[in-house]
Structure 1
Amino acid sequence: MKRLIAGVVLGVSLTAVAHGAGDPAAGEQKAAVCTSCHGQGGAKPIMGSYPKLSGLGEQYLFNQLTAIKSGDRAVPQMTGLLDAMSDQDLRNLAAYFDSQEMVVNQANPDLVDQGRALFRGGNMASGVPACSGCHNPRGQGNEPGGYPALGGQNAEYIANQLKAYRNGERNGTSNSQIMMDVAAELTDAEIESVASYVSGLN
């Protein structure tokens, strides 16, 4: 499993579109429609089930926006919102949100030890690789590979997404199969602990 994931990460990294092609200033002008759910700068969503968009990584954000617009990734709340936007508009949006600062949450102290162990070392018994292998030991992501920064993200959102991957309900991007394979081996308790841990990871 680890070799497979490492190989795919390398392949995606080598073939990813060069990041930095978006214009943050132009993206800010298009971001007003996003504010009502994700907050100013994408940093403070109105609900914990919505993702923070700030500082996630430009390539990751562009990939997700593209998948949502095409319908490859189903997000009912965003139906039609991106239809009138060009690829350059999406790149600009991605650049804008990536340029914003992530506000870190407070992890549940009771879950920190289990969450840290899983994030940094995985679970050898069940074959779950360390999250840090793709998302960086400090949760800062892997921009060329299109892996998002996780540090500070809402725990509820992360938990929901891991369950969606586990259930085969989230796909549509190049890294989806990796996450589905990983999440398939996670228990509910592991999901809760690692989601809480990364929400407070700085």
Structure 2
Amino acid sequence: MQDMAERVQACTPCHGAQGKGTTDPYFPRLAGKPSGYLYNQLLAFRSGRRKYPPMNYLLQFLPDPYLKQIADYFAQQRPSFPEPDPIEVSDAIKEHGRILATAGDLDRGIPACVSCHGSSLAGQEPGIPGLLGLKANYLSAQLGGWRYGTRTALAPDCMQIVAGHLTENDVRALAAWLSSRPAPEDPTPAAAGSFALPLECGSQPSEGPR
């Protein structure tokens, strides 16, 4: 992977060395996320299904095997997590976010984040990402993208279904609580099939908040 470490230097200005993230809230941490998830995102950017011109341009001529190598490289990295964001919301909003993340709101069709992303929120193989080490603004933007259909996934598009039930207050609470969490004791994504997925998903979803 030493050769890949040199080849992915174009990624580091935005995503940080080893994909550990930077202080910019809109460029996420890549390190340690499942390779299958990262590969799906690279394919989505290359095809234009995910739209961000610098990424679309950077990837447009790269072949599938090379994208898979990039995904494998970042999936294997384990740099330290950033310090969590200070919580700048009320205790009531923070608690609302915790409840949605850990228990959901089944009356409104909102499963708990932990039901797919794992009890430690470190993700699940092969295609569900961890949710920690991300900034509140980024989480909010991604959830908003799912809610309004500007971000989509291959069927079953679980995140779009779930996010469609969220209100603006839900999004704010989830983003604040998730971004304030400390690093998990073990950042390794759970093995495939470790958690029973919500019925709306039908099968393991291919994407989640990046």
| TM-score interval, normalised by the smaller of the two chains | 0.7 to 0.9
Aligned equivalent of 1:154: 135
Identity of paired residues, percent? 34
Q: AA paired with 2:124?
A: N
**TM-score by structure 1 length?**
0.79
Q: Is the 8 A contact 2:98 2:174 kept in 1?
A: yes
Match of 1:45 among 7, 18, 22: 22
Alignment of 1:54-133 (within 5 A): 54-100=31-77, 101=79, 103-104=81-82, 105-108=84-87, 110=91, 111-133=93-115
Q: Secondary structure at the match of 2:106?
A: coil
**TM-score by structure 2 length?**
0.77
Aligned equivalent of 1:194: 174
Q: AA paired with 1:103?
A: F
What's the CA shift string for 1:111-155, capped at 9, x where partnerless?
Answer: 4322211001111231111111110011111112x0101122222
Q: Is the 8 A contact 1:26 1:92 kept in 2?
A: no
Partner Cα distance (2:4, 2:86) in 1: 31
Structure 1 residues without counterparts, runs of 5 or longer: 1-23
Partner Cα distance (1:59, 1:46) in 2: 26
Whether 1:168 and 2:149 are equivalent positions in the alignment is: yes
Q: AA paired with 2:75?
A: D
Q: Is the 8 A contact 1:166 1:184 kept in 2?
A: yes
Q: How many residues of Structure 1 are paired with residues of Structure 2 in the alignment?
A: 177
Structure 2 residues without counterparts, runs of 5 or longer: 185-210
